[in-house]
Structure 1
Amino acid sequence: MTLETAFMLPVQDAQHSFRRLLKAMSEPGVIVALHQLKRGWQPLNIATTSVLLTLADNDTPVWLAAPLSNDIVSQSLRFHTNAPLVSQPEQATFAVTDEAISSEQLNALSTGTAVAPEAGATLILQVASLSGGRMLRL
């Protein structure tokens, strides 16, 4: 079994990452930095790894798209978060993918309901950069 490292100070680093993620999700368009890790679990980058370490737990099934999934990522995620890994996107609370996600996979993600919107999946979309491309306005 090969494991990747997690946060050096698990409680403090997870709290810091959570505050940064809360800011980003509550203020659309705001870019935040997640620098608690020295490196991500390849092929996951630092930000994606930090999000999973901060939010995933034994109650949040995680789906990893094929390009971002390997044995080391799976073993490290299970060890550090105890999150169950699922093979289908419709089973996931957190879906981790890159720009290669298909429309079928995207449409399979749970959207929740009017009564329970929190039952919808959270899509974690890994990108190479947030700068250098076409400028968009929210």
Structure 2
Amino acid sequence: MQGVSGGFADAAIDGVAAFRAAMSAMARPGRIERVAGATPPVPVSVAAGVLLLTLCDADTPLHLAGSADAEAVRAWIAFHTGAPLVPRGEAAFALGSWEALLPLENYRQGEPEYPDRSATLIVEMDRLEARGATLEGPGIETQAWLDLPDPAAFRRNHALFPRGLDFFFTCGDRLAALPRSTRVL
């Protein structure tokens, strides 16, 4: 069946390694992690595919934006995760380029009583480097750096804390994260 190859070879082992890398990136904002084990269809990167296989399942509403919303990608996700595809306002996770994911206000931002009811965006990047915007906050000893597409957008997001969005950035086999608790200077 077309679109079904490219999942984890050993789901238990690959899934644990991928989950560890994703949580390490989220716990240490700005740190870039390398991942492997997934071969999703174009245009989805290896890192984004690993995140989808690790974080999504049949109970995880997912939004595909821009070129990520392709038939081969939809078939791959349906086979490997069963995640329901939904409009952005209903998504727990969303995947796409920065431009395709905008506007950020259209995603769930959490509620004062339940800030965890917000979306996590997986942003496909042309490059991912530990330089550019300065980051401070939990998980960062002094400062870290990450090349962000729009630092002002992440400052506005942090101002909503404890509400707001969380982000993963992916490029090739690398990923980094920016939780809403991180201050972007």
* TM above 0.5: yes
Which has more helix, going by share of residues? 1
Give the TM-score taking structure 1 as reference length: 0.89
Task: Considering Cα pairs closer than 8 Å and 6+ residues apart, tell me whether 1 or 2 has the greater RCO.
Answer: 2
1:27-66 matched pairs, under 5 angstroms: 27-37=28-38, 39-66=39-66
AA in 2 matched with 1:116: Y
Q: What SS does the corresponding residue of 1:118 show, helix, strand or coil?
A: coil
How far off is 1:102 after superposition? 5.7
Q: What SS does the corresponding residue of 2:116 show, helix, strand or coil?
A: helix
Give me the CA root mean square deviation. Answer: 1.7
AA in 1 matched with 2:19: F
Which has more strand, going by share of residues? 2
Is contact 2:94–2:101 with CA below 8 Å preserved after alignment? Answer: no
Is contact 2:48–2:124 with CA below 8 Å preserved after alignment? Answer: yes
Is contact 1:43–1:69 with CA below 8 Å preserved after alignment? Answer: no
| Whole-angstrom distance in 1 between the partners of 2:6 and 2:102 | 33
1:80-119 matched pairs, under 5 angstroms: 80-86=80-86, 88-101=87-100, 103-104=102-103, 106-119=104-117
Is contact 2:40–2:73 with CA below 8 Å preserved after alignment? Answer: no
How far off is 1:118 after superposition? 1.4
Is contact 1:40–1:47 with CA below 8 Å preserved after alignment? Answer: no
Name the % identity. Answer: 32
Give the TM-score taking structure 2 as reference length: 0.68
Moved over 6 A (4+): none
Q: What are the superposed Cα offsets for residues 83-111 of structure 1, whole Å, 9 maximum, x if unpaired? A: 1011x20010101110223643x210001
| Whole-angstrom distance in 1 between the partners of 2:75 and 2:101 | 25
Q: Which residue of 2 aligns with 1:129?
A: 127
Is contact 1:111–1:117 with CA below 8 Å preserved after alignment? Answer: yes
Q: How many equivalent residue pairs?
A: 134
